[in-house]
Amino acid sequence: MEEKGLIGIDTNVIVRFLVQDDPVQSARAAKMMEDAVTQGQSILINRIVLCEIAWVLESAYEFRRSEILESLEKILQTIEFEVEDRDAAWQALQDSRQYQADFSDCLIGRQNKMLGCEHTITFDKKLKRIPSFQLL
């Protein structure tokens, strides 16, 4: 089937799809994604949405860090999703697991590294073990 384009989705759509907490909105999100794939469209999840997913799952749904990382891994493995800077997101996921750090922080460090930064300077002492960060 010929690809007809790329559509972006907001955090609230992917979260509804993941957590299935609102039957009407969850069904609409699932149908939209199914229809997009059927029509040959790709679904873009940008890095801001990835960070917001982690934050919403933690703050609003009280997911444990391991559950958040599992959800993000499923997103990264889904071929129907075009993930902005997928390589950096995968590396951030691995860093988050290895160093017990927030995914969003790890993604910032990996993204900055890919953009040519030697380090990302931070005051966050929890990040000092991650090679892409340097404490100020």
The candidate with the shortest Cα–Cα distance to 136, out of 115, 104, 108, 127, is 127
Counting as low any pLDDT under 70, the low residues of the chain are 1-4
| Beta strands at 133-135 and 41-45: parallel, antiparallel or unpaired | unpaired
Strands (E), the chain: 5-8, 41-45, 81-83, 120-122, 133-135
Q: How many CB atoms lie within 10 A of CB 33?
A: 20
- CB under 8 Å to 38, separation ≥6 — which residues? none
pTM comes to 0.90
pLDDT computed for residue 28 by the predictor: 97
The DSSP H or E segment spanning 73 is helix 65-77
What residue type is 7 in one-letter code?
A: I
- CB under 8 Å to 90, separation ≥6 — which residues? 76
Any idea where the domains of the chain sit in the sequence? 5-84, 100-136
